[in-house]
Structure 1
Amino acid sequence: MTNRIIKVNELLKQEIGQLLLRRGDVPEGALATITRVEATPNLQEARVYMSVMPEEKTKEVFSALRLNVYDIQQDLNHRLKMRPVPRIKWIGEKQTAKAQRIEEIMDHIKGKEEEKK
């Protein structure tokens, strides 16, 4: 990955995060976090990886983001002084869900050990 792509990824992560906060596109009661952004080498597309808490709200959050992707893209196009501005593609982060599940299992085991004492 080139230095330029790394900088573009960080810029997109920061700008999209600020846009989502300002616009309020994430439904109430959900916490959405952009974990990483991966732009293609030709800057035509950017995959925005997100984790959502609680996990039950994931479908609701992604449907709201997909519904508003055109408006978010337009805001991003106006804010960034680069051309082309990559098209946004939302992707759910699976690693975060796995980590959350492991943490739940460990808490369950810890609770059982405390009951034995």
Structure 2
Amino acid sequence: MSKRVNRVAEQMKKELGDIIFQKVKDPRIGFVTVTDVEVTGDLQNATIFISVLGDDSDKEASLKGLNTAKGFIRAEIGKRIRLRVTPEIEFAFDESIAYGSRIESLLTQVNNESKE
């Protein structure tokens, strides 16, 4: 990726955290953290990776709430970041945190078993 694409992705990540936390008032959206943003080279599309604190139903409800507010969020990004065209946004779960937690618990389990 080019420097510009990386800068836009980082700026979007920063702004999205603020927008979701302060501006979006949907009660379905729980504790959401923006973990990463991937922007295509032509700056037309952006995939926003989120992590949600809670169980699967909380995750699904938060994703539905974010998808409902997608137009508002995109408009806010357009106001805050000066681009010719604001990228279309898509939300996706970031499974790396859950994966890392699972690996850590397995390593702890193996470590405990080897001590016995």
Fold match (TM-score > 0.5): yes
* Distance in 2 (alpha carbons) for counterparts of 1:8 and 1:100: 30
Residue of structure 2 in register with 1:84 after alignment? 85
Identity of aligned residues (%): 26
Q: Secondary structure at the match of 1:75?
A: helix
Q: In the alignment, is the contact (CA less than 8 A) between 1:52 and 1:58 conserved in 2? A: yes
Bigger drift between 27-36 and 54-63 goes to 27-36
The one-letter code matched in structure 2 to 1:96 is I
The structural deviation recorded for 1:27 is: 4.2
Aligned-residue CA RMSD in angstroms? 2.4
The one-letter code matched in structure 2 to 1:3 is K
Residue of structure 1 in register with 2:94 after alignment? 93
How many residues were matched structurally?
113
Give TM-score, length-normalised by structure 1: 0.81
The one-letter code matched in structure 2 to 1:93 is D
Give TM-score, length-normalised by structure 2: 0.82
Q: Secondary structure at the match of 2:75?
A: helix
Q: Does 1:34 align with 2:34?
A: yes
Q: Secondary structure at the match of 2:21?
A: helix
Q: Deviations over 1:16-63 (max 9, x none)?
A: 111011124464783211111010000000100111112331101101
The one-letter code matched in structure 2 to 1:2 is S
Q: In the alignment, is the contact (CA less than 8 A) between 1:46 and 1:86 conserved in 2? A: yes
The one-letter code matched in structure 2 to 1:92 is F
Q: In the alignment, is the contact (CA less than 8 A) between 1:32 and 1:50 conserved in 2? A: yes
For structure 1, the residue ranges without an aligned partner over 5 or more in a row are none
* Distance in 2 (alpha carbons) for counterparts of 1:47 and 1:93: 11
For structure 2, the residue ranges without an aligned partner over 5 or more in a row are none
Change (3 A) 1:28 1:103: farther
Residue of structure 1 in register with 2:51 after alignment? 51
The one-letter code matched in structure 1 to 2:8 is V
